[in-house]
């Protein structure tokens, strides 16, 4: 939209400070945009430009052109129908044009009186029937034309474009833009930073707009390279800092047979090749005295829990404690149940046990469990965030395992590290079912070693995914009946309605009742909702696990990690409302046994009979692929890296300019240069990181 605002407002003095804050309204608005330091302004780039450098002839303009003309006002009248407006005709000698204003000030009306010569800029509409501009910008004619394009910055309410422009110009002028990239390492022919930023704020009118827009222009290349370098430097710094920390070496097992080997023997299956390989990677890390910082990624159902249990066994074999945390109580309960089944008998022989810590526990039980953690009797502590609450102390924690790591914030990971004893850091194993595409791993998780379970346990049959319109719910009931007749079980997931948990609960309850009456008395239909007390949730889960309930209706509480191999059908209602990774996670609840499994995505078109474009892309991806890596790739494509990462890594500074897909060459350059810079130019490296990440750099180190 062309800027029509009263041009004079820019020159008004800034409003006075709001009481108590010491900041003017403008300053507060600038802070909201993250603009504090001079360099922040210099790096705040325009979202587009306006060309005010030229005056064109009306006769040369075409429908849709944004044009700047100088012309004489030949008529001006106030019209009241169909609504009040100022209609002005101007003539520049080549042709005439009608200008229409619905909102205008008396000063503007005066400026546009008959006989005046004005400079007008706006979008030209219409052709033969006569040209028109709606709400063009009007200035006095004859003022000197600018040499460069005019930047247009993204702004917020309360911060007028001309004010922001002025602030950015001043910040850019003040900012120290000394070179931080060593001359010998800069890409050949690279622009210097001063020239780069001056140009990107005020490009010369001869620039190729395409090169600015697709960011292939040398100035953009330089800027993106700088940004990627800052990110690589800060990640590498974090890694080097970790290398200076010490962790206990977890090696050696008691002569009388190791827990690790006993657990392996007790498992009802043998490990997949991928599980063995990853187990080896973890074992090697644990044997070092540098803290492990490893991400174990594997699609839903790839068997991460066993790998975690084996790592825990290694730790316990070395005489130390392990903590396993999950984001929800249900999930923690599942781990707990399984690990108890596997490990408790073996631990009991050693006078050890598994302890359980959650927020909703009764105080008495909790004290007993915390006591066991503190004395070291609990070799393994399983739970939610409660595990890292301040009150819990460990005798000798050496390994922390975090499931669904993206649900945990940086602060929680830090708190976990604080649980270490004798100045040693615990090893950290994070697990995730949503794989990170390679380019993202390279740039955002450079301080992370990644292990991948790229093989599913044998005997799984692929899940068939079907899209079904909400109007054909009856068919779905028939499908459920068919599965029940085979002795199988069914999940039904109700959508989350964000505004109201109460509505959520009502929907889920209604669905449960509807299904119960449709399926008849013999079928047990259970309900799981996040509002239910934990004990009740666990009871329902146990009933479903033991097949006392055949159908489980739930809100998204079952999203992660629940494991009932006899379940063979997953119905997701209002699937169009869910995110892609979330849908994939939900689907992963079935297909865990040998039975052929299916996932039905019920969708409800909106009033227009349509599903939004992004929603359609998500549903399409679900039907087309069951491969978690492919799903992650498409998710990234649909959402872009900002949102993709935002959901999982709060606090990670995102790339503002570089695009990991398009800029892999620059990323490689930055990866290559970062270690050299830290070694040979540490002061420049510090300056560079500070320039780009400023106060955010601290965050990265977590």
Q: Is 419 helix (H, G, I), strand (E, B) or coil?
A: coil
Query: Binds 582, which of Mg ion, ligand ADP, none (CB < 5 to 8 A, cut-off by type)?
Result: none
Q: How many residues bind Mg ion (CB under 5 A)?
A: 1
Does residue 269 belong to the site contacting ligand ADP (CB under 6 A)? yes
Residue 641 engages Mg ion in binding (rule: CB under 5 A)? no
Residue 565 interacting with ligand ADP (CB under 6 A): yes
From the list 171, 158, 170, the residue with the least C-alpha distance to 26 is 158
545/540 Cα distance (integer angstroms) = 9
Which residues 229-258 are close enough to bind ligand ADP by CB under 6 A?
none
- Total binding residues toward ligand ADP, as defined by CB under 6 A: 18
CA distance 43 to 534: 49
- The verdict on 483 binding ligand ADP (CB under 6 A) reads no
Distance (Å, rounded) from C-alpha 544 to C-alpha 5? Answer: 63
Neighbours of 144 (CB within 10 A): 5
Q: Nearest-CA neighbor of 657 among 648, 649, 647, 667?
A: 667
Neighbours of 546 (CB within 10 A): 10
Select from 70-78, 149-157, 238-246, 303-311 the region that touches ligand ADP (CB under 6 A). Answer: 303-311
Q: How far is it, in rounded angstroms, from Cα 338 to Cα 356?
A: 13
- Angle, to 10 degrees, between the axis of helix 218-244 and the axis of helix 193-201? 130
Among 302, 483, 581, 582, binds ligand ADP (CB under 6 A): 302
Contacts 24+ apart (CB under 8 A), 546-550: 547/489, 548/524, 549/489, 549/524, 549/525, 550/484, 550/489, 550/490, 550/523, 550/524, 550/525
Question: Nearest residue to Mg ion, using CB?
Answer: 561
**Among residues 182, 187, 457, 605, which is the contact residue for ligand ADP, using CB under 6 A?**
457
How far apart are the C-alpha atoms of 485 and 480, rounded to whole Å?
Answer: 9
592 lines the binding site for ligand ADP (CB under 6 A): yes
- Three-state secondary structure call for residue 520: coil
Pairing of strands 463-469, 597-603: parallel
Which of ligand ADP, Mg ion, none lies near 205, with the C-beta cut-off 5 to 8 A by kind? none
Nearer of residues 68 and 272 to ligand ADP, judged by Cβ? 272
Residue 563 found at the interface with ligand ADP (CB under 6 A):
yes
Strand-pair partners of 449 = 294
CB of 304 to Mg ion, least distance (A): 5
CB of residue 249 vs ligand ADP: minimum separation in angstroms?
A: 27
Residue with Cβ nearer Mg ion (447 or 563): 563
Q: For residue 416, give the nearest of 387, 447, 450 by alpha carbon.
A: 387
List the interface residues with Mg ion, window 93-122 (CB under 5 A).
none
Q: Are strands 378-383 and 489-493 parallel, antiparallel or unpaired?
A: unpaired
For residues 402-441, which are near ligand ADP according to CB under 6 A?
433
Interactions with ligand ADP, residue window 271-290 (CB under 6 A): 271-272, 275
Interface with ligand ADP by CB under 6 A: which range of 115-123, 298-306, 541-549, 666-674?
A: 298-306
Q: 301 or 435: whose CB is closer to ligand ADP?
A: 301
8 A C-beta contact, residue 378 and residue 315? no
611 binds, among ligand ADP, Mg ion, none (CB under 5 to 8 A by kind): none
Q: Does 435 bind Mg ion (CB under 5 A)?
A: no
* Smallest separation (angstroms) from ligand ADP to the CB of 305: 3
Calpha distance 432→298 (Å, rounded):
7
Q: Which does 222 bind (CB under 5 to 8 A by kind): ligand ADP, Mg ion, none?
A: none
Contacted entry of ligand ADP, Mg ion, none for residue 275, CB cut-off 5 to 8 Å set by kind: ligand ADP
Spatial distance between the Cα atoms of 134 and 136, rounded to a whole number of angstroms: 6
Q: Does 300 participate in binding ligand ADP (rule CB under 6 A)?
A: yes
For ligand ADP, which stretch binds (CB under 6 A), given 137-145, 150-158, 559-567, 618-626? 559-567
Total number of residues shown for the chain: 702
**Pick 136 or 561: Cβ nearer Mg ion:** 561
Task: Pick the binder of ligand ADP from 303, 426, 495, 591 (CB under 6 A).
Answer: 303
Among ligand ADP, Mg ion, none, the one that 272 touches (CB under a kind-dependent 5 to 8 A) is ligand ADP
Q: Can you tell me the distance from the alpha carbon of 292 to that of 236, in angstroms, rounded to the nearest whole number?
A: 15
Residue 435's nearest CA partner among 631, 702, 618 is: 631
Please tell me the distance from the alpha carbon of residue 273 to that of residue 607, in angstroms, as a whole number.
50
Among 279, 301, 591, 628, binds ligand ADP (CB under 6 A): 301
3-state class percentages of the chain: helix first, strand second, coil last, to nearest 5: 45, 15, 40
Closest CB 249 distance from Mg ion, rounded Å: 28
Q: Is 561 in the site for Mg ion (CB under 5 A)?
A: yes
DSSP string, 537-567: HHHHHHHHHTTS-SEEEESGGGTTT---TTE
Among 68, 221, 305, 434, binds ligand ADP (CB under 6 A): 305
Instruction: Give start and end residues of each alpha helix (H) in 155-217.
Output: 161-174, 193-201, 209-213
Between CA 478 and CA 486, with CA 480 as vertex, the angle to 5 degrees is 110
- For ligand ADP, which is the closer residue by CB, 407 or 419? 407
CA neighbor of 293 nearest in space, from 393, 399, 436: 399
Q: CB nearer to Mg ion: give 168 or 296.
A: 296
Taking the least distance from each CB to ligand ADP, the nearer of 300 and 333 is 300
Residue nearer to ligand ADP on the CB measure, 119 or 294? 294
Is 327 a residue that touches Mg ion (CB under 5 A)? no
Rounded to whole angstroms, the Cα distance separating 54 from 593 reads: 70
- Nearest distance in Å: CB 263, Mg ion: 17
- Interaction partner, residue 592 (ligand ADP, Mg ion, none; CB < 5-8 Å by kind): ligand ADP
Q: Which stretch binds ligand ADP (CB under 6 A): 340-348, 561-569, 576-584, 630-638?
A: 561-569
Closest distance of CB 624 from ligand ADP, Å: 21
Q: Closest residue to ligand ADP, Cβ-based?
A: 303
Task: Candidates 294, 304, 353, 639: give the one binding ligand ADP (CB under 6 A).
Answer: 304
Residue 648 Cβ vs ligand ADP, minimum distance, rounded to whole Å: 16
- Which region, judged by CB under 6 A, interacts with ligand ADP, from 270-278, 444-452, 465-473, 520-528? 270-278
Q: How far is the CB of 623 from ligand ADP (least distance, A)?
A: 21
Residue whose CB is less far from ligand ADP, 105 or 269? 269
**Do residues 431 and 402 touch, judged by C-beta distance below 8 A?**
yes
> DSSP states of 106-134 as a string?
HHHHHHT-TT-EEEEEEE-B-STT-EEEE
Q: Which residues bind ligand ADP (CB under 6 A)?
A: 269, 271-272, 275, 298, 300-306, 433, 457, 561, 563, 565, 592
Q: Which residues bind Mg ion (CB under 5 A)?
A: 561
């Amino acid at each position: 939209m062309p800027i029509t605002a009263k041009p004079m407002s820019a020159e008004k003095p800034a409003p006075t400070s709001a009481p108590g804050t010491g900041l003017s309204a403008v300053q507060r608005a600038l802070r909201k945009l993250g603009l504090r330091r001079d360099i922040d302004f210099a790096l705040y780039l325009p979202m587009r430009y306006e060309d005010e450098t030229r005056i064109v002839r009306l006769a040369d303009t075409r429908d849709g052109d944004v044009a700047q003309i100088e012309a004489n006002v030949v008529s001006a009248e106030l019209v009241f129908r169909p609504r009040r407006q100022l209609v002005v005709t101007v003539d520049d000698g080549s042709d005439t044009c009608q200008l229409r204003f619905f909102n205008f000030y008396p000063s503007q009306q005066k400026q546009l009186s008959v006989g005046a010569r004005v400079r007008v800029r706006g979008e030209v509409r219409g052709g033969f029937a006569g040209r028109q501009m709606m709400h063009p910008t009007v200035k006095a004619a004859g003022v000197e034309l600018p040499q460069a394009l005019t930047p247009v910055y993204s702004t917020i309410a309360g911060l007028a474009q001309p004010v922001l422009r002025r602030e950015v110009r001043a910040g850019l002028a003040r900012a120290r833009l000394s070179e931080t990239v060593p001359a010998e390492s800069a890409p050949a022919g690279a622009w210097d930073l001063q020239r780069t930023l001056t140009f990107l704020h005020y490009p010369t009118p001869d620039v190729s707009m395409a090169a600015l827009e697709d960011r292939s222009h040398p100035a953009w290349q330089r800027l993106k390279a700088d940004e990627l370098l800052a990110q690589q430097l800060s990640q590498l710094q974090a890694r080097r800092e970790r290398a200076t920390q010490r962790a206990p070496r977890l090696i050696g097992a008691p002569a009388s047979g190791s827990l690790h080997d006993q657990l392996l023997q007790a498992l009802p299956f043998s490990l997949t090749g991928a599980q063995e390989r990853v187990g080896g990677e973890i074992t090697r890390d644990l044997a070092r005295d540098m803290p492990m910082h490893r991400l174990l990624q594997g699609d839903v159902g790839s068997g991460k829990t066993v790998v975690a249990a084996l790592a825990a066994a290694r730790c316990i074999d070395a005489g130390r404690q392990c903590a396993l945390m999950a984001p929800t109580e249900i999930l923690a309960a599942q781990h707990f149940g399984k690990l108890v089944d596997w490990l408790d008998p073996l631990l009991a022989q050693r006078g050890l046990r598994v302890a359980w810590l959650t927020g909703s526990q009764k105080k008495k039980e909790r004290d007993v469990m915390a006591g066991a953690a503190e004395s070291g009797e609990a070799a393994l502590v399983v739970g939610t965030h409660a595990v890292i609450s301040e009150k819990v102390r460990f005798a000798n924690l050496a390994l922390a395992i975090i499931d669904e790591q993206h649900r945990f914030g940086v602060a929680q990971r830090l708190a976990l590290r604080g649980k270490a004893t004798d100045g040693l850091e615990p090893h950290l194993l994070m697990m995730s079912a949503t794989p990170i595409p390679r380019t993202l791993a390279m740039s955002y998780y450079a301080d992370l070693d990644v292990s991948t379970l790229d093989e599913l346990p044998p005997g799984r049959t692929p899940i068939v995914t079907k899209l079904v319109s909400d109007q054909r719910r009856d068919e779905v009931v028939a499908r459920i009946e068919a599965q029940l007749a085979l002795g199988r079980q069914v999940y039904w997931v109700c959508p989350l309605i964000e505004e109201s948990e109460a509505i959520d609960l009502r929907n889920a309850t209604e669905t449960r009742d509807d299904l119960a009456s449709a399926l008849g008395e013999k079928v047990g239909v259970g309900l799981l909702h996040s509002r239910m007390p934990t004990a009740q949730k666990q009871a329902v889960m146990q009933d479903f696990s033991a097949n006392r309930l055949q159908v489980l209706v739930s809100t998204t509480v079952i999203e992660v990690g629940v494991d009932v191999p006899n379940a063979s059908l997953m119905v997701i209602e209002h699937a169009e409302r869910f995110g892609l990774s979330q849908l994939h996670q939900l689907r992963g609840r079935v297909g865990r046994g040998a039975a052929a499994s299916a996932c039905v995505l019920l969708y409800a078109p909106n009033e227009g009979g349509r599903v939004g474009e992004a929603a359609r892309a998500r549903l399409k991806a679900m039907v087309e692929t069951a491969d978690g890596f492919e799903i992650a790739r498409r998710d990234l494509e649909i959402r872009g890296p900002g949102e993709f990462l935002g959901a999982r890594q709060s606090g990670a500074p995102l790339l503002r300019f570089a695009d990991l897909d398009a800029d892999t060459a620059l990323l490689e350059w930055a990866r290559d240069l970062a270690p050299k810079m830290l070694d040979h130019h540490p002061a420049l490296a510090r300056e560079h990181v500070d320039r780009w990440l400023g106060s955010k750099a601290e965050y990265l180190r977590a």
